[in-house]
Each structure stands twice: as structure tokens, then as C-alpha cells.
Amino acid sequence: MAGTNIVAARKALIAALQGMTGQGAPLGNAVVDYSYVGKHHDGTREYIFGGSSDGSTSLSAMQGGGRVKREETPDWTLSIYITTPGESTTEVADERAVELGVVVEDYLAANMQLDGTVTGLLKAIVTGWSLTSWPDDSGCSAVLAYNLQFHSYLT
């Protein structure tokens, strides 16, 4: 994986989302981590974390010797995990997951190049999502999982 942008892109997006947390911030009191560090992250009810990556690379130019210019389009899963206590419903958990998801979507729509912090990144976009929710003995939970794609031109 030498020469890929995936780690830099993931780190840049997570840093941006972490900057949108806190009292009165767009993501409120959500905890944002680069990857999953444990159920409910010390009891938080709103948890955003990165998951697995995969992607493809294609040569963009023929070149004799040295590094060949190439394009890569890795995908990455970003999950928003919500738990609602007590007499809540799955609809309430779904609605909160979508509210936080809109913040992520709006950020990417306005910052497709992640504020220019990742060399060679052409665009970071949402290419798909899934929403799952369920009740349990202590309330309800929902997971909104986004498939993100980081399209880069690497030299």
C-alpha cells in the first residue's frame, strides 16, 4: 500500500469531524474516533468511527523507471452509532443518526478536498449508506454507515 492517500484522507476527515464536537457544535457531544475502540466508547450515546477500507488503483501514465503516476479510489466505511435510553423508539435513534449524518454530508459537500490538507486528493464523496436500528432491554440503537470514496491523483 505504499503511496496511498487513504490514511491521510481518513485522518483529515476524522480531525475535521472532531473539530465539530462539543457543546453547541454541529455534532454535539458525539465522540469521534479514527476507528472503533469499544462499544459505546465509555458510555457515550453518540459515537462516530471509521471502519474498513478497500479500493482500486489505475496507472495514469506510462513511464520508464521511477514512480508511475496513478489514480486511486479507495472506499472507507464511516459509522454513526446512536443509542437512546429508556422508553425510546427506533425512529428516534434513526432520526438522530440521520441528523449527525447530514453534518458529515454537508461538510463533505462543502469540502470535497478536505480543505486541501491531503496532497493529490481530488474529491471525498459519499457513495452510499445503510441504516439499521433495533430495540433492546435498555432502549434503542441505530447505526448509519456511510460508504465514502477518496479519489486521488498520485505522482
- Enter the CATH code of domain 6-154: 3.30.2000.30
Element (H, E) at 135: strand 121-136
Q: Which residues of the chain have pLDDT under 70?
A: 1-2, 39-43, 60-67
Strand partners, 79: 49, 145
Q: Which three cell numbers stand for residue 132?
A: 439499521
pLDDT per residue over 8-24, tens digit each?
999 999 999 999 999 99
Nearest-angstrom CA–CA distance, 76 and 99: 20
Looking only at the bridges linking them, the beta strands covering 139-154 and 121-136 are antiparallel
Nearest-angstrom CA–CA distance, 74 and 9: 10
Domain boundaries defined on the chain? 6-154
pTM: predicted TM-score of the whole model, two decimal places: 0.89
Strand partners, 141: 83, 134
Q: Which pLDDT value is given to residue 2?
A: 46
